Amino acid sequence: MSKQKITIAVTGLNNTDNPGPGVPVIRGIKESSTFDVRVIGLVYENLEPGIYMDGLCDRIFQIPYPSTGSDDLTERIERIHQQEKIDVIIPNFDAELFSFMKNEKRLKEIGINTFLPTLKQFQEREKDKLPEYGKKYGIKVPKSINLGSLNQVEDIEEKMEYPVMIKGQFYDAYVANNEEQAKQAFQKLAAKWGFPVIAQEFIKGTEVNVIALGDGKGNTIAAVPMRKQYITDKGKAWGGITLADDKMINITHSIIEKTKWKGGMELELIKTSAGEYYLIEINPRIPAWVYLAVGAGQNIPEALIKLALGFDVQPMTDYKIGKMFVRYSYDMIVDLEKFAAISINKEI
């Protein structure tokens, strides 16, 4: 049977030491048994490594940062669409998701499909709302306080014991062993990510993660649990292994069923020595280690495209246990012409 020809646009080609999920998403798509895919890479910076990787993207376009306004971004996508006829867009950054969710209908009207969480799903899992989320959906979460000013750091001690995690509302986290360290972390995070800064109870245990895909009707289409084996100084996985952990799978099914989650997601959990699981974060998109799931037998990017195009997708329940991924860095030698083209023309 011949494969269906489609055009997919993907962001997050920054395969750096803090990698975006774009490159592994594309690798998954290219292994699809259903689709013959033409890939459009959408980049914010002209040195995103995915631009220069041979055979990865058929075309590259630079797009404006979401901070310039979602209309600018959407207009740019519309112009690219006139040339390339995009069937599905897979945005891979937290910061751009809001713009794509807001313009979902506008994109759909011109024939661009997405498969994203709803605004409500996106907002209720935000870090500063995690205690309410845990209560609503019956999941254990660490205690936390939202800090709006430096003075409030002094209140932490009344509600939880040190050490505590001090977290930015979007990214970054520091362990603080005392009030002084908490204040330093607060100032760094407030300057970088704004308010609130979140003080979260420190749960001692092993961090484990699940990559999952929900169909928006309460069904879990894919779920693969993993433990990071090698972590960079930015806290990113440089190696990981799939686990046989039914409890993690059950937690994932329960969250997706109760929230009717639509799209890719990553659950970050802490497993304590007593075997309890605490949800510390939900990332509302496919994580950068997605290719491990593909390698273990669940092609999540392909399934997401099928859902976006309205296919009937059956849940994938099997995956290989003990499959590992190990990242590496690799120096590509590239010609100046490519760099010049993306810098001047904003497309290749």
Partner 1 sequence: MKISEEVKISDNGFVFNSKTGDSFSLNPFGLEMIKSIKEGKDFEILKNEILQKYDVDDLTFEKDYYEFCALLKHHQIVVQDNPTDFK
Identity of the residue, 140 or 247, whose beta carbon is nearer to partner 1 in the bound complex: 247
- Mask for 182-221, x = binds partner 1 (CB under 8 A): ------------------------x-x-------------
Find the shortest distance in angstroms from Cβ 241 to partner 1. 5
Using CB under 8 A, pick the residue from 76, 102, 227, 338 that binds partner 1.
227
How far, CA to CA in Å, does 65 sit from each of 70, 235, 257, 266? 9, 25, 33, 24
Q: How far is the CB of 229 from partner 1 (least distance, A)?
A: 7
Q: How far is the CB of 209 from partner 1 (least distance, A)?
A: 11
Rounded least distance, CB 206 to partner 1, Å: 7
- C-beta of residue 232 within 8 angstroms of C-beta of residue 314: no
Rounded (to 5) percent helix, strand, coil in the chain: 35, 25, 40
Cβ distance to partner 1 smaller for residue 324 or 341 = 324
The crossing angle, in degrees rounded to 10, of helices 300-308 and 22-30 is 80
CB of 240 to partner 1, least distance (A): 8
**Shortest separation between residue 227's beta carbon and partner 1, angstroms:** 4
Tell me the one-letter amino acid at 299. N
3-state secondary structure 242-278: ECCCHHHHHHHHHHHHHHCCEEEEEEEEEECCCCCEE
Helix or strand (DSSP H, E) at 213:
strand 206-215
Contact positions with partner 1 (CB under 8 A) in 303-332 = 321-322
Q: How far is the CB of 190 from partner 1 (least distance, A)?
A: 35
Closest to partner 1 by CB, 230 vs 311, is 230
Say how many residues touch partner 1, by CB under 8 A. 11
Q: Which is nearer to partner 1, 130 or 270 (CB)?
A: 270
Shortest Å, Cβ 64 to partner 1: 41
Selected range binding partner 1 among 34-42, 47-55, 238-246, 255-263, rule: CB under 8 A: 238-246
For 31, the 3-state DSSP assignment is coil
- Contact in structure between 116 and 286 (CB atoms under 8 Å): no
Which residues, 245 to 264, sit near partner 1 by CB under 8 A? 245
Q: What is the β-pairing status of strands 35-43 and 59-62?
A: parallel
Residues 6+ apart with CB under 8 A from 159: 143, 145
Euclidean distance between CA atoms 87 and 187, whole angstroms? 44
Instruction: Give the tokens for residue 319.
Output: 């995956």
Binding range to partner 1, per CB under 8 A, among 55-63, 83-91, 192-200, 243-251:
243-251
The smaller minimum CB distance to partner 1, of residues 206 and 250, is found at: 206
DSSP H stretches of helix in the chain: 22-30, 70-84, 94-102, 104-109, 119-124, 130-137, 156-159, 179-193, 246-259, 290-295, 300-308, 336-344
Q: Does 241 bind partner 1 (CB under 8 A)?
A: yes
Residues found near partner 1 in the complex (CB under 8 A): 206, 208, 226-227, 229, 241, 243-245, 321-322
